Structure 1
Amino acid sequence: MAADGQLSPKAAVHGTANGVFFMAIFGALWAYTGIMGLQKPAGTTRWLLAIAFLVGVGFCVSGFLLMRSARRFPGGGQKPGKRHLLKFNLIFAAEGVSIAAVIILCNAIGNLNLIPILVAVIVGLHFLPLASLFGVKLYYATGLLLGLLALFTWLFIPENLVFGGDEANAYMVIVGFGSALILWVTAFLILGIGRKIVHDVKKAPVTTT
């Protein structure tokens, strides 16, 4: 994930690259959710799966190239302290437990359509402490947009709609594709932050002793 503050430029670039990887992978998973919500035969959704896969791979490759561009920067980059890692792990553990609880609850009440709505809310909420932990204000917007998308879908969109002549699970389609777009836009913006760091370091005057 991205980080700034007291980190060296190399560590900051590696942090932004990790953020790009995260957004790319989970964006692709949300896109998969949207594709499955269309409830169409595998043959008709194959090209959508291919696009989602290629977008995810494209961002991952970009993140790798970003990390590679900083390989000769001075300093190995500070490793996060134990308290930092503990907070990070607790945030993700809470997210995982909450998602599992939502799935169990929705199964118990017999309303599986609510799962993407509630999961999007949980994922959005988990970005708020991450924004503070890593000092990345962009994550506040990401979390807020995910929550608003889920709320809007729940309040104004019927559970099932007709797409291309076939009935589809509207919650999965809208929340899935919408969340994928939000995460991929976040990945694009994070990538820009990393590239700016690289550009600034390379443009900085070289000091000699």
Structure 2
Amino acid sequence: MFERHTKTATRSGWSLYSPPMTPTTPSTPSSPSTADAECAALTRNLRRRGTLVLSVFALVWAFAGASGMASSTAALAVEIAAGTLTVAAIVLAYRKGAAPSPRMVSLPDNWARGVGIVNVVEVVAIFAVIAASNASGHPSFIPAGIALVVGLHFFPLAGLYDQWQYKGAAVLLTVAAVVGFGLIAVGLSSETVRAVVGLAAAVVLWASAYHVAVKG
């Protein structure tokens, strides 16, 4: 049975008086709590930021892939398309009047600290890949190596942000990295490897960005 609690003053202080609601008593819809509003705002902000970061790094990967293409005309077309897709994703994420996210995030304790640690490890690992590849005389390993690092770092981020799309991005980027190493193994040029890995990574990140922006 629902009860409506009202406070009544007494000489000794405040006490709770709780008369039962009768069937004829009209019920008043409860307003969203402050905690619910804060959770909704946090969810919206994290997903907007996620779309922004994903789409911008997709742009970086697309330009890297375009730099490995033999045709300058094709490379220019890729760059124009990349810029358009990136701007459209950001506008979609930050558009006014967008419906609220259908699912609120459920973040673990110290999630922000965890995100910071994962991102620092990612940056260090990327520089390590670049340094090791150049020092060993195999710079062609750099695109695939970086794609592998980026892919792996999305696995913990999926849980820290409570964003399941990041697991898909993690798997697909890891596959793109493995394909890149395979292309190196069969003797393809570093330009071809850069084009394939770069464009594949860009498509994965754009797909994730658009899905987060539209589906939440």
Place the TM-score, normalised by the shorter chain, in its bin: 0.7 to 0.9
Runs of 4+ in 1 over 6 A off after TM superposition: none
Instruction: Report the counterpart of residue 202 of structure 1 in structure 2.
Output: none
Question: What is the TM-score with the length of structure 1 in the denominator?
Answer: 0.75
Task: Label 1:159 to 1:177 Cα distance change in 2 as closer, same or farther (>3 A).
Answer: farther
Q: Deviation at 1:10?
A: 2.4
Instruction: Report the counterpart of residue 46 of structure 1 in structure 2.
Output: 76
Name the SS of the counterpart of 1:8 in structure 2: helix
List aligned pairs for 1:103-182, cutoff 5 A. Answer: 103-156=130-183, 158-160=186-188, 169-182=191-204
Instruction: Report the counterpart of residue 25 of structure 1 in structure 2.
Output: 56
The structure richer in helix per residue is 1
Checking the alignment, whether the CA contact within 8 Å between 2:64 and 2:195 is kept in structure 1 is: yes
List aligned pairs for 1:89-108, cutoff 5 A. Answer: 89-108=116-135
Give 2:114's aligned amino acid: K
- For structure 2, the residue ranges without an aligned partner over 5 or more in a row are 1-35
> 2-side partners of 1:170 and 1:21: how far apart?
28
> 1-side partners of 2:86 and 2:177: how far apart?
22
Instruction: Report the counterpart of residue 97 of structure 2 in structure 1.
Output: 69
RCO (CA 8 Å, sep 6+): is it higher in 1 or 2? 1
| Number of aligned positions between the proteins | 175
In terms of Rg, which structure is larger?
A: 2
What are the Cα deviations for residues 25-62 of structure 1, in whole angstroms up to 9, with x where unaligned? 00011101110111444x65323211111111111111
Structure 1 vs Structure 2: percent identity of aligned residues? 25
> 2-side partners of 1:140 and 1:54: how far apart?
26
List aligned pairs for 1:190-205, cutoff 5 A. Answer: 190-194=212-216
Question: What is the TM-score with the length of structure 2 in the denominator?
Answer: 0.72
Instruction: Report the counterpart of residue 68 of structure 2 in structure 1.
Output: 37
Q: Using the TM superposition, name which of 90-99 and 148-157 deviates more.
A: 148-157
Match status 1:183 vs 2:211: no
Q: Using the TM superposition, name which of 125-134 and 32-41 deviates more.
A: 32-41
Instruction: Report the counterpart of residue 198 of structure 1 in structure 2.
Output: none
Give 2:41's aligned amino acid: K
Task: Label 1:159 to 1:123 Cα distance change in 2 as closer, same or farther (>3 A).
Answer: farther
Give 2:165's aligned amino acid: L
Give 2:209's aligned amino acid: A
Checking the alignment, whether the CA contact within 8 Å between 1:24 and 1:59 is kept in structure 2 is: yes
> 1-side partners of 2:74 and 2:158: how far apart?
38
Name the SS of the counterpart of 1:160 in structure 2: coil
Checking the alignment, whether the CA contact within 8 Å between 1:159 and 1:171 is kept in structure 2 is: no
For the aligned residues, what is the CA RMSD? 2.6
Q: Deviation at 1:160?
A: 3.0
> 1-side partners of 2:63 and 2:187: how far apart?
18
Checking the alignment, whether the CA contact within 8 Å between 1:27 and 1:180 is kept in structure 2 is: yes
Task: Label 1:116 to 1:24 Cα distance change in 2 as closer, same or farther (>3 A).
Answer: same
